[in-house]
Amino acid sequence: MQQPKTIYLKDYKPSPFTIDTIDLTVDIHADHSLVTSVMRMEKHKDSVGQKLNLELNGEGMELVSLKFNGEALPNDRFQLSSDKLVILNVSHDEFTLEIQNKINPAENKALEGFYQSGPQLCTQCEPEGFRRITYFIDRPDVMAKYKTKMIADKKQYPFLLSNGNRLGGGDLPGGRHWVEWQDPFRKPSYLFAMVAGDFDVARDTFTTMKGRKIDLEIYVDKGNLGKTPHAMNSLKQSMKWDEETFGLEYDLDIYMIVAVDSFNMGAMENKGLNIFNSTYTLADEKSATDHDFQGVQGVIGHEYFHNWTGNRVTCRDWFQLTLKEGLTVFRDQEFSSDMLSRAVKRLEDVRLLKDSQFAEDAGPLSHPIRPSSYIEINNFYTRTVYEKGAEVIRMIHTLIGKQNFRKGMDKYFELFDGQAVTTEDFVHAMEVASGRDLSQFKNWYSRPGTPTLKVTSRKEGNEFILDIEQKYPVPTVKVEDNNVLLMPFKIGLLDKTTKTEEEHLLELKNLKETFRFKVNGDVTPSLNLGFSAPVIVEYPYEVADLIELMSFNKDPYCRYEATQKIYDHVFKAEFYYYKANGKLNPELTSEFKNAFQNLLKDESIDLSFKSYLLDLPTENGLSQEMLQPDFDAIHTVHHHLRKKLGVEFQEWFLKEHDRLSKASKFELTPKAFGERALKNQCLTYLVTSETKAGMGALDKHYANATNMTEEVHALQLYIASGVELEHESIQKFYQKWKHDSLVMLKWFSSLAAFSPKKSALPRIEKLEKNVLFQKQVPNYLRALYLQFAKNNLHAFHDDNGDAYRFMAQRIRMIDGFNPQVASRAAGAFSLINKLDAKRQTEMKTALKSIMDDKPSRDTYEVISKYLAQ
């Protein structure tokens, strides 16, 4: 097959043509939409006076007519290919171009451009979807002013929405109507949006800090209004927070959110008209988990915050994606911290980073937060660009301090409002505002891989000495030899006698460094407080040190870390015992039992936090740490360890579960989240104990559950315990919720992720035939296939290779209509470089079968990297 083209950052050049205004008319019919685009164009100042070809992007549409300055363009003045329209030899410096083309949203299954989701029509243009609507210079540094007129059948599509302010509308003959919108702000094409459909609308208003009244509207499927209050509330909280925290006010008179069921990602920040995956909009007590509620709040915040970080100041090119995404994730993390519990939020963010981003950065797809090349940009909406990108912003925040960071944000908008800029520009604003040189810090933008800090300590007299060495993995892209990272490294010195802790903020800037501290007695170092740098820290802790840290550390993140290290230590001992003796270790050491007991009994710990402290490391995390992981042994030992704890502390778990079951009003407060989380955690240990009391607690919990957090957790425990698909616990849930497709997603994903190894694959083959399984809707594909591959590790990695072949076949099928989802599903194979020879061979055969089938560019790029291992 012909190798797709690679695009390089170093080749960036400004566009020789710019687009001042674009007036779109979209005439929607049942079997096609007719798009008319009138553009006022100019040459870039460096190209004025030259005769140049004008290259417009355009894919998957039919050109109807073409006029240059009002006159039809003869055939020899342009060239048309499958992805370009080239106007030859343009000598004018200013001109208008009028293009008519046809598209067919009903047949668009890739969900890029203008497409159909259920009965509605909507768009997705980031990063390169606009070229599927009309011919355009589709790149983020070409910013134009948009006017959009939509025409459609009034009964079928009573709502016609686009960006900006509504200019007017009216009825037309034949039951049709029109609505026209104008966006006063210049924007790149990726922020364009358009929606046609029939909805229920939740309406509210927000009064800004300057007293302007903004209309807020949330559009949802008919019948779903009851699930919108949380989203509306989150939107108002976001608007207020951005005013208070960064002085940023909303800039249009209306803010619309539309929820759709078919969407490739979470949500999209189109100017004034966000389009959301319904999973991040709709939530009520009965059908949404606490995790869902927090997801809605976080994503509503995220998209709202993009209005300034992304829309008002946008990206020069797609290599700069982290400019808007890293910064906006940082902003949404801070928002959620302020709305809920900062300590718990930080813990969750770090867990996600370590579980997913560290894994990505250790695998074949590792890349810097600002990549230097790509084949398909859609493959770079990653944990690295987003979450590691946010950690890089957080490090700047730590290095220059909160006040300077705020000044830096002000400077950023002062210098770059209305422009398309680079990550360098952002760092520059921070440098100007803080007076600090960040040139070495910028190395984070170009180095891939998670650094490891090797830390050792010594004592000399009353000096405590830390030796710290930075180690980097072999980079997957070229990195300059002098790329040494600068990072803030917060540490605590915990005095073993007084239990007081002294904090220090260190700055690491050399590969090897030594730091000296005056101390009075013996101290235990607690390293990377608050996870100040996104690194792996290695320090030769004794278990006794960890127990000390787990019990007395002030920093919540480090306390959690200490607990995880203890579990890890215990797990490994059990694991090697099992491997050596062929049987499970029946004992628990008294040291570990005491530590665990102290944790349980400590009433000063916030309940959310406690439930996290009681979480054993995940099978995912454990297998990442091992070379050639033995997935079956990991699963068995993991289960066994939890079982031993469940049996040993059954009484406590029962009592606590009971105590937390007392009827109370449903609330969305950190306290209530904590109570439900801990209650679920108790139940997990009880059920894993496999005792009568444990199973009894499960039956009771399930029967009495009044909210989805508790209900779906019980369902998952039944599934994991090995009941048949026909078991009443599973069927009851199905019957109760079959009318609600968001809840059915949970049913499918729970079965995919928790079914025992022997039944998992045949069960999935059965589930994909279920009438409620929507086989072209990304949420459903993710719920079944990705949940299986990523979360049911021992079943997916069965060394007979059946599941690999199954997955490869499904990826080929999905790739035929939705390359973005297929390429993400290929992430199932991300562990390839860690596996034993047998599994690796099986995986390679499966992957090659995809490559032989002429995959999309998206899938090609990912799989070629896996196969290069």
* Binding stretches for Zn ion (CB under 5 A): 325, 328
Question: Kindly report the CA angle at 407 between 402 and 409, in degrees rounded to 5?
Answer: 95
Distance (Å) of CA 128 to CA 192, 560, 848, 860: 11, 42, 28, 18
| Residues 18, 56: Cα–Cα separation, whole Å | 11
Tell the smallest beta-carbon distance from residue 389 to Zn ion (Å). 10
Tell the smallest beta-carbon distance from residue 231 to Zn ion (Å). 17
Whichever of 292 and 325 has its CB closer to Zn ion, that residue is: 325
Whichever of 314 and 624 has its CB closer to Zn ion, that residue is: 314
Q: Beta strand pairing status for 33-43 and 52-57?
A: unpaired
Tell the smallest beta-carbon distance from residue 689 to Zn ion (Å). 43
Q: How many other C-beta atoms lie within 10 A of the C-beta of residue 207? A: 12
Three-class DSSP category at 413: helix
Residue 92 is which amino acid? H
Compute φ and ψ for 257, nearest 5 degrees: -125, 130
- Determine contact, residues 151/171, Cβ cutoff 8 Å: no
Tell the smallest beta-carbon distance from residue 280 to Zn ion (Å). 12
**What's 661's DSSP letter?**
T
Compute φ and ψ for 126, nearest 5 degrees: -75, 140
Distance (Å) of CA 512 to CA 362, 485, 486, 633: 23, 11, 12, 38
| Residues 236, 2: Cα–Cα separation, whole Å | 50
Whichever of 332 and 630 has its CB closer to Zn ion, that residue is: 332
* Catalytic residue of the set 128, 180, 269, 303: 303
| Burial classification of residue 396, based on how many CB atoms lie within 10 Å of its CB (0-12 exposed, 13-18 middle, 19 or more buried) | buried
Tell the smallest beta-carbon distance from residue 351 to Zn ion (Å). 20
Tell the smallest beta-carbon distance from residue 749 to Zn ion (Å). 23
Tell the smallest beta-carbon distance from residue 448 to Zn ion (Å). 21
Distance (Å) of CA 111 to CA 98, 103, 268, 613, 674: 26, 13, 13, 41, 38
Distance (Å) of CA 288 to CA 285, 347, 611, 735: 6, 22, 20, 17
CA 537 to chain centre: 25
Of the candidates 706, 693, 619, the one whose C-alpha atom is nearest the C-alpha of residue 653 is 693
Whichever of 217 and 325 has its CB closer to Zn ion, that residue is: 325
Of the candidates 701, 706, 735, the one whose C-alpha atom is nearest the C-alpha of residue 718 is 701
Of the candidates 55, 249, 224, the one whose C-alpha atom is nearest the C-alpha of residue 142 is 55
Tell the smallest beta-carbon distance from residue 300 to Zn ion (Å). 12
Of the candidates 829, 822, 804, 832, the one whose C-alpha atom is nearest the C-alpha of residue 859 is 822
Tell the smallest beta-carbon distance from residue 108 to Zn ion (Å). 23
Whichever of 390 and 752 has its CB closer to Zn ion, that residue is: 390
Whichever of 326 and 534 has its CB closer to Zn ion, that residue is: 326
Is residue 502 part of the annotated active site? The answer reads: no
Three-class DSSP category at 300: helix
Q: How many other C-beta atoms lie within 10 A of the C-beta of residue 247? A: 12
Whichever of 183 and 325 has its CB closer to Zn ion, that residue is: 325
Three-class DSSP category at 49: coil
- Determine contact, residues 12/317, Cβ cutoff 8 Å: yes
Of the candidates 833, 814, 816, the one whose C-alpha atom is nearest the C-alpha of residue 825 is 814
Q: Got the DSSP string for 98-147?
A: EEEEEE-GGG--S-SEEEEETTEEEEE-TTTTGGGTS-B--STT-EEEEE
Catalytic residues: 303
